[in-house]
A and B are shown apart, each in its own frame.
Chain A
Amino acid sequence: MNDPDRAPHGDARTAKAELPPVLEDAAALARTWSDPPGLVGWITTVDHKRIALRYLVTAFVMFLGGGVLASMMRLQLSRPENTLFGPDFYNQLFTTHGTNMMFLFAVPVTQALGIYFVPLMVGSRNIAFPRMVAYSYWLYLGGCLMLWVPFLLNTGPDMGWFSYAPLSEILYTPTKRADVWAQMITFTEVAGLAVAVSIVVTALKLRAPGMSLNRIPIFVWGMVVQSFMIIFAMPAIMLASTALILDRLANTHFFDVERGGDALLWQHLFWFFGHPEVYIIFIPGTALVSTIVTSFSRRHIFGYLAVVLSLVSTGFVGFGLWVHHMFATGLPKLGESFFTAASIIIAVPTGIQFFCWIATLWSGRVSLKTPLVWVLGFFWVFLIGGLTGVMLAAVPLDLQVHDTYFVVAHLHYVLIGGTVFPLFGAFYYWWPKLTGRMMRERLGIASFACFFVGFNLTFFPMHLLGLHGMPRRVYTYPPDAGWTTMNQLELVGVAFMTLGTLLFLADAWMALRHGATATDDPWLAGTLEWATTSPPPAYNFLHAPTVAGREPVWDNPPDQPIVVGLRTDVRDVLVTHVMDAEPDHRTEFPEPTKWPLLTALSTTALFVGSIFTAWAVVYCAVPLFVSMTGWFWPKHPGETGTQAWPIAHRTLPMPNEPPSGKAA
């Protein structure tokens, strides 16, 4: 083959077999990077892999919980005039379901994959700011409890997942339900923002030497774009939820029309976050698709530059669409036309990616394993979701089907298609790396088949129900509405989806117990996470790698240099330049610490307390200040790995000094 884009034909590990002898002291690295044993280690860990696994498991539990709520709704709607649940409980069901899936499942689960795999894919020993990532997990857990505990106490939010004012104002929701929702937002957004910053800095500054911008794995690009979107979008929802809770508890009037406020301000702020949120969820999904398609086509991705630019441009255009959620609010025509155009334009970068995936598969040597099968499912489901999206971008159609099941169908095709299918693919793809065990192909295919059939049975009829006029969020309907059969069909679909999920869980459980041991690189894939053991050691790589191509395991020559000279007695990490990833300096990473948990606990006290009295913000600032000072304060002299005072000769270079001189 003379196509330079093609991976080498042979076993990718022949290169590894010729690797030079071990130069690093594995025992010393393990001593330095391991956590203390037992519960102490569990609480204090700053290992990105352990934190990410925690995130993954929690987010998956949230997925199952949200699924149970969805099944309860479908059960309620499976008969006309059903009295199984009352309207009040049904409102809590769909609000908690939507809120849970958006804020506690979709975003955290993709960030969890980022926390686990971005450092591995760029060849680093840990994620940037690992203590902040540890802190973010505890806050996220607080957010989960904040939603589910009130729900189980019959105080779950009941205003819909976008909590429109004035319904969510104190006049119409005099209970704590809206406050619970607003502070749950604060929990999850602070956590999401912390992770976003860590992922961006990891991708910019901790890349292995040689990994210039044009060699960054597409999954890492996707996570970077997602993180930047989080950075620019989530402040909007934090501002909105803060204003809401102030309206409710401190008697302000942001959304109160009688006192000069404006209810549409809520919608603008919410959707300025809420629409980018869709892409925050979906961009990691497409990046996963690119990753899996590349690995199972056994070739470099077709149109790397086009795919990366598509991700970036989706990130930009995603901020210009929010008003299409508000077409029914009577905005000026010019505004509607602009947002229609923007909403149609965003189909272009996604279309480009589709063609790149097809070209990659077409010209590759496809190995049809379970992860790729899930991705093929994604193609179909997401394509339909995208097409109905283009339809909904047109104002007349949008007005016709506004708040009907057509929208419910569309958003589930987009979100489940865009994220859940690639995620299941990613679970199967990375399971060997996460656990060191292989899952079973047959069960994986069976699980996919059930889920795929079930998904389409559940959600495709919703398009038709919407066109037949069934509004979303109704807890029941009359027998002569003509909606009964399709609702019953949907219940059958739910059964299939449940079966598919259970098969996945069974497969995962059996793989953990009796699965075949996974090799380092069972799929013969090319990115750096496959260049270390399955699962990776605490220090990630025995030899800190350098890279010579986009898929280092494929592209690196057998004598590719390795990085030596990082200290093994402390958590020494190599920091590189943003553009070309040239080695710049070393930095010492933090040891396990209890302070992130303590800081999260004081933050939790502040958030929960503020629901009951505004003074909690003042009282709880004290423990928050103490715990943050404890976090920052040195634990022992020499902690930073730099010279202690008095300093004879400075060693830290200024920003404008050249990256390196002659060898000393």
Chain B
Amino acid sequence: MTAPQPPTAGQHAFAPGRRGAARTIDVSMLAPGGFGHRSLMWWGTLGLVLIEGTMFALTIGAYFYLRERNTYWPPQNIAPPDLLWGTLNLLVLAASAIPNEIAKKAAERIDLRAVRLWLVVCLAFGVAFNAIRVFEFLHLNVTFSNDAYGSIVWMLLGLHTVHIATDVADTAVLTALMFIGPVEEKRFVDVEENAVYWYFVVATWLPIYGVIYWAPRII
């Protein structure tokens, strides 16, 4: 059995009707998917964002709880993290929102050429971000085993690193699929949702950056 020819966008409908004695709602002309909040995966991603967002919020809460329990924060003889690498990363990550948005828009236009191009650009940003992250760790001026301050700072930065690393891995697989896999219309929805999750990772860096780099300086 072959699939019925799909209608084009804007023509979708479900049609109330009747077949014999039965009243029916015919959904055969409904689209086989949809972008944004229409899609199941968009909601699934939102669930993940809630879980991970709670995790970050609690970790920041733990940071300030431990800060409250210590007289010196950071402990004496420990300098706050160097601003250079973290701030550079803030700029890189903020800038990555631009190719991310262009890739998202290209996906919504179903423009394969542009999606391929901008996914690669996003990926380059992601790799750069992870590379700079190594220097961030090296310039925290404290190790995780030094004291509770070091532990919680490493925990915050580590948690965020897990997210950027996995998101880069996701994006790499998706990019590969858009180049070599069987490309289907639904895959453009995946690209869009990948962009949504990337935004989450960017957005969480703002408070975490503020806590790691500025809380020891100004609070």
Binding site for B on A (CB under 8 A): 20-21, 23, 128-129, 193, 196-198, 200-201, 204-206, 209, 231-232, 234-236, 238-239, 242-243, 246-247, 250-254, 256, 259-262, 265, 268-269, 272, 546, 559-567, 569-570, 574-575, 578, 583-588, 625, 629, 632-634, 636-645, 647, 649-657, 659-664
Contacts and interface: CB of A to CB of B under 8 A. Distances in A.
B53 to A, nearest CB: 9
Nearest to B74: A260
A644 B154 CA distance: 45
A252 B154 contact: yes
A128 B40 contact: yes
Given A563-B27, A660-B12, A655 B43 contact: no
Dominant secondary structure at the B interface = mixed
B112 A23 contact: no
B10 to A, nearest CB: 6
A584 B30 contact: yes
Interface residues of B, number: 78
B20 A21 contact: yes
B44 A197 contact: yes
A652 B50 contact: no
Contact of B29 (A246, A629, A664): A664
Given A201-B43, A209-B14, A236-B54, 15 more contacts: A129-B40, A196-B47, A239-B58, A252-B150, A260-B70, A585-B32, A586-B31, A629-B173, A633-B177, A642-B33, A645-B112, A649-B8, A651-B32, A652-B32, A663-B29
Interface of B: 1, 3, 6-16, 19-40, 43-44, 47-48, 50-52, 54-55, 58-59, 62, 65-66, 69-70, 75, 108, 110, 112, 144-152, 154-155, 169, 173, 177, 181-189
A565 B29 contact: yes
A655 B22 contact: no
A653 B173 contact: no
Contacts of A645: 112, 182-184
Contacts of B33: 585-587, 640-642, 651-652
Contacts of A201: 40, 43-44, 47
Given A561-B23, A562-B22, A638-B184, A585 B8 contact: no
A236 B56 CA distance: 10
Contacts of B145: 250-253
B66 A652 contact: no
B40 A205 contact: yes
A541 to B, nearest CB: 14
Contacts of A256: 148
Given A261-B148, A561-B25, A653 B31 contact: yes
A253 B44 CA distance: 35
Contacts of A559: 21-23
Nearest to A247: B151
